[in-house]
Amino acid sequence: MYYLKTVKTFLKSCDRFIPNRFMFVKGLFNKSIQKEFPCSITDQYVVLKPGYRKGLRGTISLVRRKNDGQLFVLKMVKGQEDPNHSFANEMRSMGILQDLGLSKGNTFWAPDGESLLKTYVEGPTLTEVLRQNNNFFSENSVELEALKQLIMKLCKSSCYIGDLNSGNLIFNDQRWFIIDCGIIKYNLSYQERIERYHGRFIHRWQRHLPDDHHAQLINFLKKLFAQMSEMNNNQHHGFSETETI
């Protein structure tokens, strides 16, 4: 009986003090956010998920604009890389992809002048779909057909998926969108892009699949790139072998 009373007393004390302790921790969290992000950003945006994605060249945070509640991803360059050079290339490539319908929303400078803001695209990544959707390679798969259309458009452009990472593809509104990309540094022909993507997509993407689905990915890409090569040989796609768009 005494033991039960002691437990009840302890639980009441928890009810009384834990909320205050939570508020204290929340206050420390907010202070750490203020130190990590410039005031020019936190004055206009609420940081919801700081650094939830980290890459070789920077970190990605989810933020919400205070005046209208719109969501954005904030990209901050780390290390010695010049943010002006990095973001200039990224804004150029995202503009090219937007013209092709492969990117969604806007990309612009953050208020601090050293970070980049992109419209947040909601949906599963290709990594998540490869891991979770057992019907991805079926004949009626909307995601697979949309991926085929994306790859065909991508090979015609001078851009590539950032690090060829399947996590940089988001499925939204029945289409795949590229959320991180770069500019191809070399003047590759259409056929050279096909050959380069073929092997690298298999290498980068099959590790997210169950072992018994590896052959399906290989067959899909082999068939697609063979079809694209044949179309290129027959029609030349209206541009020369060394032209980039």
Q: What is the pLDDT of residue 219?
A: 94
Tell me what pLDDT residue 106 has: 83
Pick the range with the lowest mean pLDDT from 56-60, 79-83, 235-239. 235-239
Domain-ending residue, one of 87, 119, 151: 119
User: Does any domain span residue 3?
Assistant: no
In this structure, is residue 199 part of a structural domain? yes
* Integer angstrom CA distances of residue 228 from 21, 181, 190, 231, 233: 61, 22, 9, 5, 9
Indicate whether 6 belongs to any domain.
no
Is 164 exposed, middle or buried, given 0-12, 13-18 or 19+ CB atoms closer than 10 A? middle
Residue 194 tokens, joined: 């096909």
Q: Please give the average per-residue pLDDT across 62-90, as a whole number.
A: 84
Which among 119, 115, 120 has a CA at the least distance from the CA of 39? 115
pLDDT digits 0-9 by tens, 12-51: 444 343 333 333 333 334 444 445 788 889 999 999 999 8
Cα dihedral 195, 199, 204, 205 in deg (nearest 10)? 90
* Contact yes or no for 116/107 (Cβ under 8 A): yes
Q: Is the pLDDT of residue 242 over 90?
A: no
Last residue of a domain, one of 69, 98, 119: 119
Tens-place pLDDT, residues 179-218? 888 888 778 888 888 888 988 999 999 999 988 899 999 9
Closest CA to 211 of 139, 130, 96: 130
Is residue 7 in some structural domain? Answer: no
Dist. CA 10–CA 33, nearest whole Å: 33
Residue type at 178? I
- The pLDDT tens digits for 127-166 are 999 999 989 999 899 999 999 999 999 888 888 888 888 9
Query: What pTM value is reported for the model?
Result: 0.75
Q: Is the dihedral of CA 167, 173, 179, 185 positive or negative?
A: positive
* Cα 170 versus chain centre, distance: 7
Using CA atoms, how far apart are residues 168 and 199, in angstroms rounded to an integer? Answer: 18
What DSSP state is assigned to residue 135?
T
Contact partners, residue 135, CB within 8 Å, separation at least 6: 141
Question: Structural domain of residue 55, as residue ranges?
Answer: 36-119
Q: What gap in Å lies between CA 13 and CA 9, rounded to an integer?
A: 6
How far is 88 from 83, CA to CA, in rounded Å?
8
**Which of 1-15, 58-72, 80-94 shows the lowest per-residue confidence on average (mean pLDDT)?**
1-15
Same domain, 131 and 114: no
Q: What span, in angstroms and rounded, lies between the C-alpha atoms of 146 and 125?
A: 13
Eight-state DSSP code of residue 7: H
> What is the CA 45 to chain-centroid distance, rounded?
20
- Does one domain contain both 55 and 146? no
Asked if residue 4 belongs to a domain, the reply is no
Q: Which of 2-16, 34-48, 114-128 has the lowest mean pLDDT?
A: 2-16
Question: Is residue 69 situated within a structural domain?
Answer: yes
Helix (H) or strand (E) holding 185: none
Last residue of a domain, one of 98, 119, 140: 119
Nearest CA to 77 among 115, 123, 124? Answer: 115
Residue 123 clears pLDDT 90, i.e. is over it: yes
Task: Tell which residue, 28, 67, 75, 77, has the closest CA to residue 45.
Answer: 67
Q: Are residues 97 and 139 in the same domain?
A: no
